[in-house]
Amino acid sequence: MIIYSNLEVCPSAWQDINNGLLLNPQNEELMYAPTIAKDGSGGSYGFCWQLGNVDGHRRVGHSGGINGFRVYMGRCLDDQVTIILLSNIEMEDMDPVVEGLE
């Protein structure tokens, strides 16, 4: 599945997620639950989300890019804060920018 979006649609989509209009709360929590392999390894990745913690607040995020574009979408789940970064500058890693915002 490919999702095309823009800066007008992204904020309203995240509001719909925060308000439980796209997923019920139980399914949303499953999306952010750690994936554990049979051997017990893993635990830092949910369903398409990198899982983390910032100053005791749960954070999920996902980044990617292609042909000179980069994107990062992250959420601070406990605070209902969403960060969306779009870049048309070829960056190898957006983590320093994201960490600067957190």
Of 17, 51, 59, which Cα lies nearest the Cα of 33? 51
What was the pLDDT predicted at 55?
Answer: 86
b vs e for 26-46, b when ≥16 Cβ sit within 10 Å of the residue's Cβ?
Answer: eeeeeebeeeeeeeeeeeeeb
pLDDT tens digit string along 37-90? 889 888 888 887 889 888 888 988 888 888 878 888 888 888 888 888 888 877
Using pLDDT thresholds of 50, 70 and 90, give the confidence band for residue 6. Answer: low
What was the pLDDT predicted at 96?
Answer: 73
What was the pLDDT predicted at 1?
Answer: 42
Q: Where are the domains of the chain?
A: 9-101
Residue 3 has pLDDT above 60, yes or no: no
Q: Is-contact 91 72, C-beta < 8 A?
A: no
Q: Check residues 45 and 8 and name the one with the higher pLDDT.
A: 45
Residue 91 has pLDDT above 70, yes or no: no
